[in-house]
């Protein structure tokens, strides 16, 4: 069996992200008994699952899988270690800085994105995703999210953030 650089990346990157996922513990602001309302900010490394209508921005090192009904998806920070698989798009544009923008029109799209230093923006009326790894997520709109199995928590109003 010939191990090409692409095959090695496909094996090593998901393994490193899974090790990072289980080696760090998460701390939730919602665990604070003095909190009066569910906290929109959660710190730590782990698993973030969400569904809703609005805008999502993820930045960090993660494996992201999901789908959306219409809207757009942009990915910045793609390097040779990143893996990007997107289906169902109507148009794809590569910007001068290397950012890739996918537009879906009214179509349903699916995506699997993994990398070490990525920034992903998703805008749609129906977003569903799971992200494993570490980083920062901002979810603005109407929806619910779960962090490390804890939830459902409401998406934030503009200006609030959720960190995973």
Alpha-carbon distance of 105 to 93, in angstroms, equals 14
pLDDT (tens digit, 9 = 90+) per residue, 73-105?
Answer: 999 999 999 999 999 999 999 999 999 999 999
pLDDT digits (tens, 9 = 90+) for 147-163: 888 889 898 765 445 55
Please write the tens of the pLDDT for every residue from 33-79: 333 333 244 446 889 999 999 999 999 999 999 999 999 999 999 99
What are the tens digits of pLDDT across the range 109-138? 999 999 999 999 999 999 999 999 999 888
In this prediction, residue 123 carries a pLDDT of 96
Would you list the domain boundaries of the chain?
5-163
C-alpha separations of 96 from 93, 120, 164 in Å: 10, 17, 30
Neighbours of 163 (CB within 10 A): 20
């Amino acid at each position: 069996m010939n191990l090409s650089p692409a095959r090695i990346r496909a094996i090593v990157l998901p393994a490193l992200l899974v090790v990072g996922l289980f080696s760090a513990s998460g701390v939730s602001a919602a665990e604070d008994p003095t909190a009066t309302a569910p906290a929109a900010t959660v710190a730590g490394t782990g698993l973030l699952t969400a569904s809703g209508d609005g805008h999502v921005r993820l930045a960090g090192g993660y494996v992201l899988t999901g789908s959306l009904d219409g809207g757009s998806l942009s990915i910045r920070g793609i390097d040779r270690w990143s893996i990007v698989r997107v289906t169902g798009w109507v148009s794809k544009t590569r910007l001068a800085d290397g950012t890739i923008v996918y537009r879906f029109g009214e179509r349903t799209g699916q995506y699997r994105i993994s990398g070490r230093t990525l920034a992903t923006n998703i805008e749609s009326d129906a977003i569903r995703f799971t992200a494993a790894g570490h980083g920062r997520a901002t979810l603005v709109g109407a929806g619910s999210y779960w962090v490390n199995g804890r939830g459902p928590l409401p998406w934030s109003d503009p200006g609030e953030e959720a960190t995973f």
